[in-house]
Structure 1
Amino acid sequence: MKFAVVSLVGWLMIGTAEAGPPYAVPTPKIVDPGHAGLAHWFGALKAAEGGTGVARALHYGDSTIVADGFASTIRARLVARFGDAGPGFVSAGLNGTWNQRSDVTNSRSGDWEWRTILLGGGGGRYGLGGIVGIVRAGGHATIRAIDAAKAPVVQRHAELWYQGGAGYGSYWVSADDKEIGRGAAAAAATEDRRFALDVPAGFTKLAFGATGGTVPVYGVVLETGKPGATWEALGVTGVGSKSFTTYAKDSLRPQVELRKPDLIVVMLGGNEAGYPALMSKDGVAYEPIYAAALTTILAGRGAASCLVVTPLDQGFVDEVDATEKPRPGMKNLVAAQARAATTNGCAFWSTYDAMGGAGSALRWAHLRGYGTGDLVHVTPKGLDVLGGLLADELLAEYDGWAAGG
C-alpha cells in the first residue's frame, strides 16, 4: 500500500512529455445564484484588495490536490491579484506519501510516524488536515515558505498545531534558528492545542521538534502579516467521503473554527466513482455518503463561504473485452454533489464538465502531456489547465459581485 501511494504522488508530480493544449470544450460556470455561496469570501477578498485583511481558503480533497498542481494554480492567481498572505496552514503530512505543497519546502530528521483519516489509528483526532505527524524525542522538522522562483518569502506569524495528552513530551519552536516557544505537550486528557506567535522582525525558516517524549503534530501556520489571500490545500492521498467518519465526533469542527476560514472548498469523489451506490437512479443512494462528509467538514464553518468541486471524469478498462470505457456512475456522482451543494448553501463547479463530461477521461488519457494514461489522473500540466479554468470562473464571479451584479 505504501509503495503504491508513493508512486502515485511521484507520478502526479512528474507528468509526461509536453505537447499542444487539450481539445476545446465550453467552460462550465460556477453555480451560485445571487453569489449567496461565495459572498462572505468575496467580502474578505475585497478587504484584502483594499489592503486591510486576509482571505483564507481551506481546500479539502484527495489525490487531485495532494501534489498541489490544481490548488497551486488557483493560489498563484489569487496571490497575484490580492496579495500574498502566506502559505497558511501546512499539514504535518508533507512527504512523498500523503501531501505536498509547492509554496513551501520542508525537511525532517529523527523518528516520525503518520496517522491519517484514510488508514486510521489516530484515536479520532487528525487535526485540521486529516493527518497527524507523530514526532518522537529528538525529531524535528524545518519549513520555509517560497515563491514561484523558489526564493524564500519572509513570514511574520507562526503557529504550531499539536495534540496534548498523557505521557507526551515537550515541543520547541524556532524562527531562523532562534527559539520562540517551548512547552509541555503532557496533559491529563487528550486535547488539541495551538502555539501562536507574531514575529514582527520576520523569518524565513520555521522549525519545531520534540524532547522528552512523543508529540503528535497536526501542522503549522505561516503567514506574512500582510493583506492578501491564502489557498490552503488539505489533500490526503486515497481519501473519500467515508474517510471523514474516521474523525471522532465533533473533533474537526473546533479545528476549522480555530482557523477561521473565509471559504471552504470540498473536492471529493475521485475514489468513489466505482461505488455501486452510483448505479441507482440519479445516484440517490450515494448522496447520503457524500452529504455526511460535507456536514463534517462544514460543521465549523460559521459564516464562511463554501464551494463544492466535483472530481475529474474517470474511465476504466473493461475486464471482459479489454476496452477503455467511461465510468458509468460519474454523471450520477456529479448530480448528487450538485444537490448536496444546494442543500448546504454552497456554490458548485463541475471539473467533470470542464474536462468535457462523459468519456472525457478517455480522451485526456491519450493527450500527450496532459494524460497519465490511467484513465483517472492527469499530469501537472493537465491540473494546471483545470485549476486555471476554476480560477478564471472564481475571479469572474468576484468581479460580478464587486460590480453589484
Structure 2
Amino acid sequence: MPQQRPQGVAIPSDRKRRGELAYVEKSHAAFWLILLALVDIVAIAAIGGYVLLGGDDSSLSVMSSQGQVVGQAAHDRAKLQEMSQVILRQRQQNGSLQRQVITLGDQRSSLLADLGQMKSLYSSLRVENSWSIVKEDLAKLFKEEQTVASIPPDLYLTVPVQSDGPLDATVEVVNRLKPLDDPIPNQEVFVSKQDAGLVRQAEGEARPAAANGGSLVTSPDNQQAVSSEDMEVAALEPQAAPTDGASVQSREVQAGELDLTALPRSRPAELDSQSNVKLASIAPQPGFEPAPTPAPVVGPVSGNAQRFLAKMKALQAGQLDEPITILHIGDSHIASDSFTRGIRTRLQSDFGNAGRGAVIPANAFKWAYADGLSMSRSNGWSSANSLKVKAGPYGLSGVRVWTSSPGAKMSLTSKAGSFDWAEVTFYVGPGQGSATVTTEAGSKRVSTSAAKAGSRTVRIEGRSKTLSVAHNGGGRTTVLNWSTGSNKPGIRYVNFGISGATVAVTTRWSDQLIANDIKRIDPDLIIYGYGTNEGYNDNLNMASYRQMAGGLVDKMQEAAPGAALMFIGPADGARRRSSSLSCGGGWYTPAKLGAVRNTLKEMAEDYSALYWDWSSAMGGRCGVAKWSTQNPKLASGDRVHMTSKGYDRSAGAFVSFLERQVKNSLKIASN
C-alpha cells in the first residue's frame, strides 16, 4: 500500500531532485576543469623555463629569436641616436674651426700690414739716422785732425743762375757745415736714387763759391746779386768733378758711399766775400708727381699664379716640352696689337716662339691688326663688333665676319715663316651653310648648319704659310676667329681687343661661345686689360664696375680653372676737361682713373692674381704729360694712347716685371 504523504508537508518532485543532482555534478566538473587549467598553466610555465634554461623545443626557439630581433632593433636605434649626437658635435666643432680660420686669416692680414708699416718705418729711420751717423764719424775725424783741410773741388756743383737772360752762367756752390750739435736745417736730405751719390744737405745760408781764387764765375752779361735770405737751393743731383788739375781725393768712393773725408771742415773764407746769387729752381713743374712707391709685399704667390711662374721658369730652363699660352683681352691698346706686339716679341725671344695663336678675322674693324700676319678678304664679306652692334653672335674675340656670297674668300699669310697647324672657328646654327678651309698641307669641307647655335673649330695639321676660308653656299659662313701655331715649346701670346671698349661690351658675348673659345685656346695665363675707357667716365659706379668685371673673370676662370690671372692697372692719361687733378697746361687727370686702378688691384688680391700698374712705369700721375712733350714723344697728342716708342717702352717694363716674378716666384707679384 503506498505510503501517504502527511498533510501540509511539501515533498519535492523527482524533476526537482534530478536538477539539484545535475547542478552538483556540474559544480564538480567545473572544479576539476579549473584545476586542470591551473595544472596546464604550471606545465606551460615549466616548459617555458626549460626552454629559457637551454631546452631545444623548436617553436619556443622561434619565439626566443623574435625577441632577440626586437631587442637588437632597439639597440640599433639607441646607437643611431648616439652617432647623431656625435655628428652634431663634430659639425659644431667644424663651424668653430672655420670661424677660427677666418679669424686667423684676418690676423694674418693685419700682421702683414703691420709688417709693411714696420718696413716703411725702418726705411724712414735709416734715412733719419744717417745724419746722426755722419755726425759721429765727423766728430771722430775732428778729434783726430784739427787742421783745416783744403776744400776738394769735387764737392762743387754747377747749377744755372736765375735771370732774365739765357741760363749760360754757372756758379760753384758748396754747403757750409754747422757745428755738430746744431739741428739739421729744414730736416731735409736730397738723395739721388739713380746715382746714390754724395748726400747734400740743403741749407738756407748756402752761398756760391768760386774755384779760381774767390772770384765768381759767371758770364759778363749775367751777373746779379741778391740777399742771402733769398738763396734757394733745389734738389741738386751729384755731378762730375771738375778736371782742371785741382787736387782731388786719392781714395775712390764707391757708388752709394758717403765720402766723409771729402766734406769741408769749416766754412771756406772765400765764400764770405762773394756776391749773393739767387739760384734757379730745377724742381718739377706743378702737377707732376714722382712715381708711386711700390706696394709692400703682402704674401707669397700661390695657387695658379705660382704654378704659372714655375712653368715659365721650367720653360726658360729648357725643362718643358710644351708651349705656354697667354691670353690678353682689353681695349684699343690691345686691339691694334700696339702694346701686346712688344710683349710677344720679347717673351718669345726669351722663352721661345710657339706661334701666333688665335687672332680676329680679316678686317673685323677699322683699327684691327695682328702683328706677324697679313690678312685679306674678297668682296661679299661683312663684319660687326660688339661695341658698335649689340646683337650677336659673339665669342671671345668680340667680333664676327660673315658672307652669303658663294666663292667669297678670306686669307691669312704668316710673315714669320711656316706654322705647324691651323684652325678656323665657325659659328654654327640655323641658316648657316658650308665652307672649305685650305692650307698648303690640305683642305677640309665643313658644314656650319645646325639645329642649335654654337661654334665649331676645324683644324688642319701640316706645315704651311697660308690659310684660307671659302664660302660654298647653302646659307651663311660666319667666322669668329682663326689660329696658327707651332708644336715646339715656347710662348704663344693671344690678344683680343676692341678700340673704345669697356668691360661692358663683354655682356653681349655668348657665355657658351666664350667657354668654347677659352677651352680651345687653353690659356696658362689670362690678362685682364680693360680700364682705360672706364677711367674717363666721371659717372662710373665703382661697385657696378667691379661686379661686371668680376662676372667676366668668373666666366673665364670657370672655362679655364687651371689658368693664372693677371690684372693691369690702366696707363696714365689726361684730358682737357677741368678737374681738381691738374697736370698743368690745361690738362687734367680723369677723376675715375685712379679709382679703376685701385679696384683692379683689390680684385687681383681677391683672386690671388698678379697685378701690374702701367701708370707706375710712366712715372705716376701726370707722367703722360712728360711722355707727350719729350723728344722723342712716347705718348700721342690725345694723351690716351702711346706712340710706337711709348708702347714699346711700356711692353719692356711689363716683360721686365713678369720676368722678375719668374725669377723669384716666392715674392708677391705686385709693383
When normalised by structure 2's length, the TM-score is: 0.52
Q: Which residue of 1 aligns with 2:468?
A: 207
- Out of 398, 401, 420, which is 1:130 matched to? 398
- Out of 480, 503, 511, which is 1:241 matched to? 503
Asked whether the equivalents of residues 326 and 361 of structure 1 are also in contact (C-alpha less than 8 Å), the reply is no
CA separation of 1:141/1:365 partners in 2, compared to 1, >3 Å: closer, same or farther? same
Asked whether the equivalents of residues 634 and 643 of structure 2 are also in contact (C-alpha less than 8 Å), the reply is yes
Q: Give me the whole-angstrom Cα distance separating, in 1, the residues matched to 2:490 and 2:295.
A: 25
- Out of 530, 533, 537, which is 1:275 matched to? 537
Q: Give me the whole-angstrom Cα distance separating, in 2, the residues matched to 1:52 and 1:181.
A: 29
String of CA shifts for 1:25-44, please: whole Å, max 9, x gaps. 58958989423252232344
Q: Give me the whole-angstrom Cα distance separating, in 2, the residues matched to 1:179 and 1:277.
A: 54
Q: Which residue of 2 aligns with 1:169?
A: 433
- Out of 362, 376, 380, which is 1:111 matched to? 380
Q: Give me the whole-angstrom Cα distance separating, in 2, the residues matched to 1:58 and 1:365.
A: 29
Q: Give me the whole-angstrom Cα distance separating, in 2, the residues matched to 1:222 and 1:313.
A: 34
Asked whether the equivalents of residues 314 and 361 of structure 1 are also in contact (C-alpha less than 8 Å), the reply is yes
CA separation of 1:186/1:342 partners in 2, compared to 1, >3 Å: closer, same or farther? same
Alignment of 1:6-405 (within 5 A): 33-36=299-302, 38-48=305-315, 49-92=318-361, 94=363, 97-123=366-392, 125-137=393-405, 138-147=407-416, 153-176=417-440, 179-199=442-462, 202-212=463-473, 213-278=475-540, 283-284=542-543, 286-318=545-577, 323-368=586-631, 369-401=633-665
* CA radius of gyration, larger in: 2
Q: Give me the whole-angstrom Cα distance separating, in 1, the residues matched to 2:538 and 2:621.
A: 18
String of CA shifts for 1:377-401, please: whole Å, max 9, x gaps. 1111101100110001111111213
Q: Give me the whole-angstrom Cα distance separating, in 1, the residues matched to 2:531 and 2:391.
A: 23
Three-state SS of the structure 2 residue aligned to 1:73 is helix
Asked whether the equivalents of residues 316 and 375 of structure 1 are also in contact (C-alpha less than 8 Å), the reply is yes
Amino acid at match of 1:293: L
CA separation of 1:402/1:329 partners in 2, compared to 1, >3 Å: closer, same or farther? closer
Q: Give me the whole-angstrom Cα distance separating, in 2, the residues matched to 1:72 and 1:31.
A: 30
Q: Give me the whole-angstrom Cα distance separating, in 1, the residues matched to 2:649 and 2:298.
A: 22
When normalised by structure 1's length, the TM-score is: 0.83
CA separation of 1:121/1:318 partners in 2, compared to 1, >3 Å: closer, same or farther? closer
Asked whether the equivalents of residues 277 and 286 of structure 1 are also in contact (C-alpha less than 8 Å), the reply is no
String of CA shifts for 1:246-295, please: whole Å, max 9, x gaps. 113444123212221111011101111122355x7xx4554324333333
Q: Give me the whole-angstrom Cα distance separating, in 2, the residues matched to 1:188 and 1:277.
A: 43
Alignment length (residue pairs): 370
Shift of 1:197: 2.6
Amino acid at match of 2:626: R
More helix by share: 2
Q: Which residue of 1 aligns with 2:57?
A: none
Q: Give me the whole-angstrom Cα distance separating, in 2, the residues matched to 1:324 and 1:38.
A: 38
String of CA shifts for 1:62-101, please: whole Å, max 9, x gaps. 0011221211111111111221110011112545615211
Shift of 1:342: 1.6
Deviates more, 1:180-189 or 1:86-95: 86-95
Q: Give me the whole-angstrom Cα distance separating, in 1, the residues matched to 2:527 and 2:297.
A: 14
Asked whether the equivalents of residues 310 and 662 of structure 2 are also in contact (C-alpha less than 8 Å), the reply is no
String of CA shifts for 1:74-129, please: whole Å, max 9, x gaps. 11111112211100111125456152111211121121222222123443x31231
Shift of 1:192: 0.9
Q: Give me the whole-angstrom Cα distance separating, in 1, the residues matched to 2:638 and 2:390.
A: 30
Three-state SS of the structure 1 residue aligned to 2:426 is strand
Shift of 1:307: 0.6
Q: Give me the whole-angstrom Cα distance separating, in 2, the residues matched to 1:113 and 1:193.
A: 20
Three-state SS of the structure 1 residue aligned to 2:603 is helix
Asked whether the equivalents of residues 284 and 336 of structure 1 are also in contact (C-alpha less than 8 Å), the reply is no
